[in-house]
A and B are shown apart, each in its own frame.
Chain A
């Protein structure tokens, strides 16, 4: 088993992804062969977007 420290960029990406998962529900993606961190899912579910559109508040 090989361990290596994360690069600074990798570390920032991972922290941001974990924060996005905790705060915004973004999926954290994992490489299915190496189990390494791949990023976060960019696609947004239909109902999330449509509900946001249908709840735009009145503007003044």
Chain B
């Protein structure tokens, strides 16, 4: 039997709550437990596999000597930061062997997509890699992070550092933790820290695993479309109410589908972004009508259709 997203998220939150320290009275779902400082980071097994898997794949890629990273999306639960999704840096990242700046526009749109299902999801922090064996954020990392965490709820963030410096482990294929805040798999390590807006240094953050999804994995097949259209999609989402973005089956591969509901009559404009192709349709209660519109700029296309429909 298929499990729905909301049910899955609910179960994850309940599982995290069960693992929180006792002595706190239960609260209704709509009410948050007051939060203290982050004491541990809880990764789902899929998130952990994503981080190690994409890190390993990146090292084998043509840009493998450059730094790479991910946004960490999730919820706060008790003393834990629960990571439920990873947003990749993207092909449009600016990176070298000494720095990485994510394609933040695409990550912003991806954040909007994830939050369509749960408005409790938020950015918890960032993981990025170092080319050498520095298993700690650098002083330059600190300068950016300490200002940035001031904008996060709780004014505190989670930071992971990836390195490829682990000693060979005889138990190949099985991860291990040489320290409470360090995960290793093969030669790869992820070291975890927390930083508050008033902290003078990062503090080691114990890492734990639980069973669960990476909610952003479904977006990976359309990440190219997200990067190509991010700024215009973000503008649409801010300008129009009720815009919905989702991954849908395309003609050759998965497509990024955008639905803009029209008021009152049950109709909607639907745009499918698949590779370089942009398809426009008018959804009506009687079925879908293909629009004869060739416009690569998705926001311009939507407003052209709205204008055409308003004139009728």
Give B240 Cβ to nearest chain A Cβ, in Å.
Answer: 13
B34 contacts A39, CB within 8 Å?
A: yes
Classify chain A's interface size: 20 to 34
B148 contacts A9, CB within 8 Å?
A: no
A39 contacts B102, CB within 8 Å?
A: no
Count of CB-CB pairs between chains A and B under 8 Å? 110
A44 interface residue (CB < 8 Å to B): yes
A16 contacts B35, CB within 8 Å?
A: yes
Given contacts A40-B31, A57-B145, A60-B141, contact A49 B122 (CB under 8 A): yes
B98 contacts A39, CB within 8 Å?
A: no
Using a CB–CB cutoff of 8 Å, the interface residues on chain B facing chain A are 23-25, 27-28, 30-36, 67, 69, 71, 87, 94, 98-102, 104-105, 107-108, 111-112, 115, 119-123, 126, 128, 137-138, 140-141, 144-145, 147-148, 151-155, 234
Using a CB–CB cutoff of 8 Å, the interface residues on chain A facing chain B are 9, 12-13, 16-17, 20, 23-24, 26, 29, 38-44, 46, 48-60
B147 contacts A24, CB within 8 Å?
A: no
Query: 6 nearest interchain CB pairs?
Result: A57-B144, A16-B34, A39-B31, A42-B32, A60-B140, A43-B119
Give A30 Cβ to nearest chain B Cβ, in Å.
Answer: 11
